[in-house]
Amino acid sequence: MTTSDAPATHLIIISDREPLAWVLESQRMDFPAGRTHQSLSLKKGDEALLYTTRGCFGNPTRDLGRVIGQATLTSEVSTLDQPVSFGERRFTEGCRLRIHGLAPFRDGVVLRNLVNDLQVFPAPRTWSVRMRRASLKLPERDAALIKRELQPLLKPYGSVVGDYSLKRH
């Protein structure tokens, strides 16, 4: 396998708790209409690091943006027969995931603490601008750093997935 054929690592960015619960329970990731170019950069076998924004749980003054899980894409991204909707947003492309581990609820790697060490954010002061998308491909060095920080926090999927349900926290 050449370097270009090696699986890539992507940060999957989730900004609302209802889609997050759906992603975790269904082990699927769907992408909004108009983001086809971004979503097609993901390939079967690629790794996904699941990131929840600080506004994901409705309280951005309390919550921090965190990498909370690690998964593998088990299918290619393709157009959905039935688009999925959350509120006014329609998600028209999707893929299946196998989630390997999750951090306990409200735990995980606080991404802003690593921004100065990550190549994917060439201008650390404006890093959050790059997060206004569904996914972000990570350089190998960045992926290794985030995974090294995340690994000690991960619990088996089945033991914590219920803590991320839609109930109020």
- pLDDT, tens only, 96-118: 999 999 999 989 999 999 999 99
Whole-model pTM: value is: 0.90
- pLDDT, tens only, 22-79: 899 999 998 887 655 656 688 999 999 999 999 998 888 888 999 999 999 999 998 8
State phi, psi for 89 to the nearest 5 degrees.
-90, 135
Name the residue among 160, 141, 120 with its Cα closest to residue 13: 120
Q: State how far the Cα of 47 lies from the Cα of 162, in Å rounded to an integer.
A: 22
Coil, helix or strand for 88? coil
- pLDDT, tens only, 128-156: 888 888 889 999 999 999 999 999 999 99
